[in-house]
Amino acid sequence: MFEKTRESLKRIYEQETPAERSQRMIPAAVFGALIATAFIWAFFFVNVYTFPNLPLGMDWARMGVMWVGFGLAAALFGAIAAWFTEEYAGIVGGGLIFTVLLAIVFLFSSGPRNNMPAAQAVLMALPLAGVSMVAAWGLRWAAHRYLAIKEEKEPNRRKGLAKYVLTILLVGLIPGILMRMDLSAEQSLRQLDELLQAAPNDSSVWPRLPVKQVPALQEHFGVDYVLYSRQSSLSAGALDVTIRFRDGYTVSCLLPVGSGGNFITQCNEGDEVKAVP
């Protein structure tokens, strides 16, 4: 069996030269990175600019990390999918290889707080195998389409490339825009903002704010602040919210979503919500 597998891999490798494969791999990798870039920028900007009445801040550090990570992953995915000569092998092989990589990412990105077992990481990645195969087909098609447009004459080539790049950007932008936070998350953040705004002049709202967990918080009531929110990795149906005051003081809390009221039971100083032992 091992000998047959080795012969099969050798046959696949010898179907094309590296130079021939690179004609597909390079554009597929570039377009994968471009789609990831459009998605990440839309994902981070959509809430900040569509909720102007909320003091939401742009988390540039987190955006940079995700931009680099998603961009490299998408570029690698595109290169893997386009490496195969045959369409079927590229779609299935590329999709399966990337699914394995996703399982590894899930396993190591869970961190010590969640301590995800290997079986759970695999179960999380398996449903994405079909999506990975569709994405592999899409990136292979994108590479073939790009090569076809390059063979066209001017001015058709220039117009074709412009439309093509716009289409690639929309593939990333639309899912990113659809990641806009829903009504329940907006209401929870708005309620937190209203409580913080009222706190300097109305001590009756203090019990609804985490002054017991973080007593120093009340010393900063009345100071301008910015909210940074993201889906919590500690609790389903909750947000990790960081309140960064202009004077430098920072508090992070686990904010329930859709509970009908903000019952903040977990809060600490710093930029990250800490897991309760």
Domain regions of the chain by residue span:
2-178, 183-269
Mean pLDDT value across residues 62-87 = 89
Q: Are 119 and 110 in contact (CB under 8 A)?
A: no
Where is average pLDDT lowest: 1-5, 15-19, 165-169? 1-5
Segment (H or E) for 244:
strand 238-245
> Any residues with CB less than 8 A from the CB of 212 and at least 6 apart, and which?
none
DSSP state of 273: P
What number of residues does the chain have? Answer: 277
pLDDT of residue 4: 65
Burial-class residue 156 by CB neighbours within 10 Å (0-12, 13-18, 19+): exposed
The predicted structure's pLDDT at residue 160: 84
Per-residue pLDDT band at 124 (split at 50, 70, 90): low
Asked whether residue 210 carries a pLDDT value surpassing 90, the answer given is no
Average model confidence (pLDDT) for the chain?
Answer: 83
pLDDT above 80 (res 58): yes
CA distance 178 to 39: 10
Q: Which one of 108-112, 143-147, 156-160 scores highest in mean pLDDT? A: 143-147
Q: Mean pLDDT, to the nearest integer, of 68-84?
A: 89
Whether the predicted pLDDT of 107 surpasses 70 = no
CB distance 269 to 250 below 8 Å: yes
Closest CA to 196 of 242, 140, 138: 242
Mean pLDDT of 187-202: 91
